[in-house]
Amino acid sequence: MNTRRTILTAGAGAVAALGAGAGTGYAAASGRRVRTEPVYDEPLGIAMEGCPSAFPVRFLRLVNQGETVDMAYLDIAPAGPVVSGRTVLLLHGKNFDGGAWEPTACALVAAGHRVVVPDQIGFGRSSKPALEYGFELLARNTAALLDHLGVARADVIGHSMGGMLGVRFALKHPGRTGRLVLANPVGLEDYRELVPALSTERLFADELANTDLNGIRAFYRSYVVRWRRAYERNVELRYRVTLGGEYPRWAMASALTYQMAYHQPVVADLPKLRLPVLLVIGQADRAAVGKSYATPENRAKLGNFPVLGRRAAAAIPGARLAELAEVGHLPQLEAPERFEREVLAFLRD
């Protein structure tokens, strides 16, 4: 069950260079030249086959609901002058993969932390089965990964949907969670109150039709205040997967994980948290699950992160709130210095 394989090694030793050059174009590492411009005309496999990685990608074989699946992950050793002895677990959002954490991972590694970055089943380089997805399933898979790596306890940082998973992981595995950082987490409101429920068939059809490059770019642009070239990585990966023959399987996994995020909000779970929590909230964020399906009136009510962040901080006992002005849904990429400063200070306390 614990079979492992390693692929796409660009060299884990060039942390400083990677931190400076992360983003579209994939930074050079270990003296190797890696392409520096995005590609839009080459298909990408639904497990991101053919996409280089800044660090070695490994896989853990699991069984989910009777189906054998492979969970991709990065396990990056500390590189700073002082090793903290702590492990930090980075949880990606729904429209991202573990590789989107690269700048944050580099900063944490340089600060002496071991960093583990999984691609959850259904995302990134991991298998894309047609499962009944749920945060408890993903939390169980994540705990199995930590078991496999011999990590008894980790600090957890979750972005967007990864914040929802971080909350559920902390509640299901309180003894294994040291500190919890929530970076613009979705699920701080119950989307079922303002967004109509949709069938998986409708969501699948919509994903299949979402193949326009400009439309995909506009979607990611809506996340940020100012567009930067580094964000093009997400556009490239999302578009190129539509060119491959297995895109329908990717689209079905996306539809099923949408249902998970829609039907399993974490807002009611926040008062149950009993560990140090830091909320990092970009104040310009208006992201919400299913927002495009809401009526114009309800759409205006969704994703008000300045309000949602303060409510969440008030609901979580002893929570710390860091509000980042003029920052949208991606604080770790839009304001990396501020984000890393807040996170590193929180982990030191």
Q: Cα Rg for the chain, rounded, in angstroms?
A: 19
**99-127 pLDDT per residue, tens:** 999 999 999 999 999 999 999 999 999 99
**pLDDT of the residue at 110:** 96
| Residue 172, token pair as written in the block | 């299901």
37 pLDDT band, cuts 50/70/90, is confident
Instruction: List the 57-64 sheet strands across, edge first.
Output: 6-7, 57-64, 67-76, 114-118, 87-91, 154-159, 177-183, 277-282, 320-324
pLDDT for the residue numbered 93: 98
CA atoms within 13 A on the CB side of 5: 7
Neighbours of 234 (CB within 10 A): 23
What pTM value is reported for the model? 0.91
Which of 20, 88, 91, 12 shows the shortest CA–CA distance to 54?
A: 12
| Residue carrying structure tokens 């050059």 | 21
- Stretch 85-100: mean pLDDT, rounded? 97
pLDDT score of 12 more than 60 = no
- Confidence at 233, pLDDT banded by 50, 70, 90: very high
Contact between 59 and 118 under an 8 Å Cβ cutoff? The reply is no
Q: Average of pLDDT values for 138-145? A: 98
Place of tokens 């539809």: 255
Separation of alpha carbons 156 and 178, rounded Å: 7
CB atoms within 10 A of CB 245: 9
Q: What does the pLDDT read at residue 27?
A: 44
CA angle (122 as vertex; 116, 126 as ends), nearest 5: 50
User: Domain residues of the chain, as ranges?
Assistant: 6-348
Q: Indicate the helix (H) or strand (E) that contains 57.
A: strand 57-64
Residue 36: what pLDDT?
A: 59
Q: What share of the chain is helix, strand, coil (3-state, %, to 5)?
A: 40, 15, 40
Specify the CATH architecture of the domain 6-348: 3-Layer(aba) Sandwich (3.40)
CA distance 1 to 12: 26
CA neighbor of 181 nearest in space, from 343, 297, 14, 52: 343
Among all chains, which residue has been given the structure tokens 């189906």? 67
Cα–Cα distance measured from residue 54 to residue 261, given in angstroms and rounded to the nearest whole number? 29
* Dihedral sign from CA coordinates of 139, 279, 124, 146: negative
Q: Are 279 and 308 in contact (CB under 8 A)?
A: no
- Name the token pair of 73: 């992950």
